Structure 1
Amino acid sequence: MSDYQTIVIGAGPAGTAVAYPLAAKQRVLVIERDLFGGTCPNRGCDPKKMLYSAIETKLLANHMQGFGLSGEPQINWPDLMAFKRAYTSQIPVGTQRGLTSAGITTIHDAPTFIDAHTLQIAGEKVTTDNIVIATGQTPRALDISGHQWAKTSTDFLDLDQLPNRITFIGGGYISFELANIAAVAGAKVTLIHHNDRPLKAFPQDLVDALINQMTAIGIDVKLETTPTEIQQSSGHFTVQTSNGAIESDLVINATGRIPNLAGLNLSDIGVLTDEHGIQVNDHLKTTVENVYAIGDVVSRREPKLTPVAGFEGAYVAQSILGSTTAPIHYPVIPTIVFGTEKLAQVGVSVNTALAQPDVYTVEHLDVTHWYTYNRIKDPTAQALVVKDAAHNVVGIASLSSVADELINTFVDQLTPTGSPIYAYPTPASDLSYFA
């Protein structure tokens, strides 16, 4: 008999989502080599949103100046960081305690595959019927001279003091969100991106509008600018680029993330991977029958987001227990950038619609005069609505202070049955806790 019926590698949102349902009927082991709880609650979306709460409040207060408010609030970075740490400091211990309370065995170590049913952990061999890999992603290193001077989002989210000058390298979610936080908190911020199309999954009109907002609050957005070297001198840094030098007190590398596969020896047991992660079929099984992969470590076209990871974990638990044999079916998945305003979309994307004008139409709405946006004096609120040939709304993208609330309303409309996936973290994403 195997030591365990299922071993889960990774104790983040994906790993815990599969472990808990299994624990009632199986012997389950969860292995975590880093922080229990994973990236999102420890050094990702949750702490980012904790910091963003004060930033969002300041931005909303700025909108209301002269409309009943006078005097702008100021960000106290040490107090804000203490607020964040009060939350994140509890996550690893709390997560491990919760797993243990559910009867799940936990080990804090790095496992290595011996074969499809055997792992080596802390010098000992452990056997199992099923293995679920949920190891997530890790920041991609810069491939330039002086790359060692660049820090990551993990470092930014735990700064004791906010530096005067910060340079963000990359044009994705992380750069845009953290650059906004830093600038509103008082830093002089530069964001560089190697081409002219950052946040390329979103409609260009709305991305351009977001960049205009960022520029208005002092963020220097440099597109078509490639970093070539980072130089360090007396604690300060110079980022050499294709368009000149940028002086900085802190350089953040946010050029993307790669699958966290180091040390697992997957190729030795026949699990196929590519640059995007572990290859799986429509049952989230790898090329080895009893080995599954879920969450951000998977190579798939769906966005790599916390609620998607949890959705996959719940599905694999049902699959292992035999309560479903159907392939996984993803509902509509909302995506959101928490910037100077929130940029969100769900359903058929505007980019897809514009590429198929015989199938879809796109309507651009300026909604600043609508009651909700006028009430909060949202200066640039707008939406792009995608309709099919029958004039049904099949997708929407929005840039506004309340785009998260709007997008979750459309999630409900576009998910008539099954379990919806809400933008995270938002009030709607907390609904499962009421069950």
Structure 2
Amino acid sequence: MDQGWGRERQNAIYRAGIADARPTVPTDFGELERRARQAMSPKAWAYIAGGAGEGATMRANRRALDRWAIVPRVLRDTSQRSLSIELFGQTLPAPLLLSPVGAGGLVARNADIAIGKAAASLGLPYILSNQGSSAMEDVTTAMDTVAAGAPRWFQLYWSVDEGLVDSFLRRAEATGASAVAVTLDTTMLGWRPQDLNLGSLPFAQGEGIAQYTGDPRFRAIVDEKVANPDPEAESPKPSLGAIKTLVSIARNAPGAWWRNLVDKHPRAAVETFLEIYSRPSLSWTDIAGLRARTSLPIVLKGILHPDDARQAVGLGVDGIIVSNHGGRQVDGSIGSIDALVDVVDAVGGQTKILVDSGIRTGADVFKALALGADAACIGRPHMYGLALRGQAGVAEVMANITAELDLTMGLSGHTDVASLDRGALSKLDY
């Protein structure tokens, strides 16, 4: 992404328009969301777009951004602009990362590979989901075919099995991850009516557990379960729904799906995942001991309270992602941008701060950076691009957000994302 990226992106679209071409992927979030809904199945839409409870936290994310207004400055030379940042020893072309989104296979087959390759084509880090539909090794190999050493992180859900935690960390290190983002706010699933009303949990269908089925420690646990079945376990009653679930599990498991139909391991893998995937007892003591278990920079994802941010800094973590999980965990939670302000003030520059949840546009990213974030993470928008055009759709969404950030910065009288501060904004009274 060279200087003038925004104008180059804009002009490319307008030049194509001379021949009556229109972008396949809309350039505004509202239309992007509407078309993506049409392209997704009801179950995919519920999982990707849905939130906790009545959706109050999702609305809070938008209100928090709208409370801050950009105040443009004029008659400044903004002909040369820089979006690049340094993050954990890497120079990134823009302050953007692609957030981890679980069960992407609901939207497109090989979703994580498509997202990873799109990120690699732009030089932006992809935070590989712990709940991915492809094993991290397969995703990173695909990314490296686009750009060798393309930046990637790994998201960790802390399992009740400590051996599995260590195995995930070793694999992430081996695949060249630049950091591990430990998700703190999903030690249990939030109340998600959109999924509940459909009776739809992707993981129970074998979707989104490829990190597990591709892991040697997890496979050993499954082997033990198959070898020593629970005599009191009930088998599902034969039904059309049960048959559909069995086929889904078979298709998502490694190996030939028709063999998986009669193999006990794929079904045992789903049962095992549901038993061990996350640990509600996770505590600060566990985080304190993580440094001895990995050489990767440690980023804590899901911090919203300034006291938690201070404790994280006290433990020497390398970064924080201010996040309410896109409004998917707690209904009525604080908006991520409102929380960002307090966390930035509490931390005082002692660690890297990123933010996600509700960030949709380049203007949103500008506000987040001006409020003290070092970078922003994009979630649902890139999934909507995936739904519309696969890998190319993901790349287009991220390129559009980056282009708008570049133009917003220049039109507001700024030349470097690193110099943005709260002086670029005004807080509104409502």
Please, what TM-score do these two structures have when normalized by structure 2? 0.28
Using CA pairs below 8 Å that are at least 6 residues apart, which structure has the higher relative contact order?
2
Query: What TM-score, normalized to structure 1?
Result: 0.28
User: Per residue, is there more strand in 1 or in 2?
Assistant: 1
